[in-house]
Each structure stands twice: as structure tokens, then as C-alpha cells.
Amino acid sequence: MAAALSNPQKRYLRGLAHDLKPVILVGAKGITDNLVAETGLAIERHELIKVHVAAGDRELRDEWIADLCTRADAALVARIGNMAVLYRRSQDNPLIVLPKA
């Protein structure tokens, strides 16, 4: 399970994610094994990614985001509309230094 982030850490990561483009697009099929695998690869390489979730229903969108976070072992930094920002520290090459909690 991804470590819980403090509010200052989330605020810092939201600032870093502001200019990012979404690298994962969740379509009508929802969260599949292949999507989780791609998310794992992207988040291992970048540590901080944006995910675009194309679901019309808010409850379904929140469910998909929670499922993706759980299956990809990532922390949800922010969710604004159809965009979610996910973070997981890289095992091989950590890029982002978080402020102390």
C-alpha cells in the first residue's frame, strides 16, 4: 500500500502536477489489467502522473480512481473533474523529494 501523504506533501505534489498532461486515459472499459500494468510502468518512471477518466457518472469515476490507486499501489494526490493525480515513489530511481510531513 502506498504511504499516506500529509497535506503539505499533497500541496507540493499538486504544484508539480499542474503543468503535466495526462499519460493514462481510462475509457469505457474501465480499469483493466492492461491499464493497471501501464499505470504501474508510467508511475514507476515518472512518480507523479495525471490520469484522465472518461466516465459520465461521478460515483463510477470515483470508484474507478479508487480501484486504480489500490491496484497500482499509488496515492491519490488530487481529483479535479475527470482528472486524477497519482503518486508513488520509484523503487529504482526516486526523482521527487517530498517535504517533511
pLDDT per residue as tens digits for the range 57-74: 899 999 999 999 999 999
Three cell numbers at 45?
518512471
Q: What is the pLDDT of residue 2?
A: 64
Asked if the model's pLDDT at residue 85 lies above 60, the reply is: yes
Q: Please return the burial class of 12, using the count of CB atoms within 10 Å of its CB with bins 0-12, 13-18 and 19+.
A: middle
If pLDDT is split at 50, 70 and 90, which confidence band does 84 have?
A: very high
Mean pLDDT of the chain: 92
DSSP letter (8 states) at residue 81 = T
CA distances for 52 relative to 16, 24, 42, angstroms: 17, 6, 14
- Put simply, whether the predicted model's pTM sits higher than 0.75 gets the answer yes
